[in-house]
Amino acid sequence: MTGIAGTGLMVRLTLRRERRIAPWWILVLTALALVMVSYIERNMGTPKLLAQYVSVINDNSFFRALGGGFVVADPDYMAAWRSGGFLYVLNGLAAVLAVVRHTRADEDTGRTELLRSGVLSRFAPLTAALLVTGAVSLAGGLIPALALIAIGLDPVGSLAYAAAIAAAGGVFGGVAAVAAQLSRNARTARATGLSALGAAYILRYAGDASGQYWMKYVSPIGWSHWVEPYWSDRWWVLAVPVAVTAGLIALAYRLNGGRDLGAGLLPERLGPAGSAWLRGPVSLAWSLNRGLLFKWTAAVAVFAAAAGGVSTLADQLAKAPGGQADQLLRGFGGRPGADVVDYGLWAVILIFAHVIVMFPVLMVQRLCVEENSGRAETVLATTSTRLRWAAGQLVVAGLGTVVLLAVVGLVLGGFFAMLVGDFGADMWRVFAGAMGTLPAAWLVGAACFLVYGLLPRFSIAITWLLWLGVFVLGRAAGPLYGLWGGTPFEPFHYVPNTVAGADFDALPGLIMVALTALLVGGGLLALRRRDFG
């Protein structure tokens, strides 16, 4: 048997499985690129406004770090500067998830072992995963670029932008391929790839914020930013991610040839032989998911500390051209006459809350993964029932969301108070604002659980679409397309802006808690009545 026997078959199988996932990633990338162009045209439509924005951004390290460096008064470049920071990370994220899904995750479920019983070489699954992921990463850069060319942006700059986006996907696809060989299971491989992606973003962000550009030079995300499409068009920079991708792929093949199917090269840390407290579904869910919560807590704390620097934006935010400060005040609620920086803090809290909602979404998705893998049936073979098993996961998801929002409030509020505020008052004001978003976060998680109870087969896709809908329709993303106040179709719209002095109203929170209980009850009832597994 040759080393690539069965690769064509595996490529067709991988493409068939990706046809329901990859188009959504490409659609999100394309939509985000177009939305940013619309945002630039709407808010920086004249040379004078554009020059004012350039001055504000270049004079503030926080703004520069958000987009990836200094800016110039060119609308095409500004559009890529605003969207690139998102598109590079999103394409890298899609690549990590796809490679792990078609390599290590298939080994965990036994799919690879079944396929290897036929005429299939040991390298065929990895080769197919890399080929399909590479094609999707390339499409994730090329299709947005074609859309940008169609609306009138410079073709050469658009192609450079496409190459920068695709390069990020290629590098992190290689990272995921190596992680899949080293790790014992898909969860660890996925966490390794996502940790590398997060570290690359933090390095790039810190380099642009501090002026220590060596950190940007060593970051794979920074390499894409250094291309500077529509301005410098540094094609030669792409030689670095191409070379690194080739090296990572070669290493992945070398590691794949030296391990047994289903095994990882790095030994797993052995757990205790027995545990007196591991007696029920809650303790089991905690044992399985505490690592995820710890990683989320660390990441949230780091980014909340960085966002504490929003206090330095007070003067620039008030001077923002185009009346954006007034739009912020009208759209985000609060007390008339409140300081504009309070509205900026509320915007940061809402962004964190929308991101943290992903935690209960992921916890619900793990229920589906445990069910499909057969591990849940092992638990249900004991005295535990499916309702107790699911309830344990929901308890950990709900309390974990409390912890993450509390970390945002304490770290963000603490840094803001230490820099410009009153520690005794401002810290607890920000903390209370962050915790006020908790009922809305719980409600989104409960809706995802109802979807899992009713439609387990499609629950992962639907829950991601649900989260995306909440984000796009909310105040966090609304300013990108002119809706500063968001829309009434997502729960965070009804959370009062107490940070900017709005009166606290418990009624919306109580209604959302009641709806949460209703949705959870409906999900448990649906789970009890349907076939399991």
Q: What is the pLDDT of residue 375?
A: 81
- Looking at every residue in the chain, the average pLDDT score rounds to 86
Q: What is the pLDDT of residue 336?
A: 63
Count other C-beta atoms under 10 Å from residue 45's C-beta: 12
Q: What is the pLDDT of residue 310?
A: 58
Model pTM score:
0.83
Q: Which of 89-93, 312-316, 346-350 has the lowest mean pLDDT?
A: 312-316
- Label each residue of 157-182 as H, E or C: HHHHHHHHHHHHHHHHHHHHHHHHHH
Q: Say yes or no to pLDDT of 50 above 70.
A: yes
More confident residue, 347 or 76: 76
Two tokens, residue 411? 């770290």
Q: What is the pLDDT of residue 1?
A: 54
More confident residue, 109 or 158: 158
More confident residue, 133 or 383: 133
Q: What is the chain's length?
A: 533
Q: How far apart are CA 466 and CA 206, in angstroms?
A: 32
Q: What is the pLDDT of residue 162?
A: 96
Q: Say yes or no to pLDDT of 97 above 90.
A: yes
Phi-psi domain of 6 (left: phi exceeds 0; alpha: psi -120 through 50; beta: other): left
Q: Which of 227-231, 307-311, 358-362 has the lowest mean pLDDT?
A: 307-311
Q: What is the pLDDT of residue 316?
A: 56
pLDDT interval class at 325 (50, 70, 90): low
Mean of the pLDDT values across residues 154-168? 96
Two tokens, residue 153? 């942006």
- Most confident of the ranges 71-85, 271-285, 322-336: 71-85
Q: What is the pLDDT of residue 137?
A: 96
Q: Which of 42-51, 119-128, 514-523 has the lowest mean pLDDT?
A: 42-51
Q: Which of 125-139, 282-296, 297-311, 333-347 has the lowest mean pLDDT?
A: 333-347
Q: What is the pLDDT of residue 443?
A: 96
Mean of the pLDDT values across residues 174-181? 96
Q: Say yes or no to pLDDT of 328 above 80.
A: no
Q: Say yes or no to pLDDT of 291 above 90.
A: no
Mean of the pLDDT values across residues 459-486? 80
- Most confident of the ranges 117-121, 332-336, 421-425, 434-438: 434-438
- Label each residue of 445-496 as H, E or C: HHHHHHHHHHCHHHHHHHHHHHHHHHHHHCCCCHHHHCCCCCCCCCHHHHCC
Q: What is the pLDDT of residue 320?
A: 58
Q: What is the pLDDT of residue 486?
A: 73
* % of the chain with per-residue pLDDT over 70: 89
Cα dihedral sign, 333-309-299-237: positive
Q: What is the pLDDT of residue 311?
A: 58
Nearest to 189 by CA among 247, 262, 138: 262
Q: What is the pLDDT of residue 334?
A: 60
pLDDT interval class at 481 (50, 70, 90): low
HSE toward the beta carbon, residue 298, CA cutoff 13 A: 9
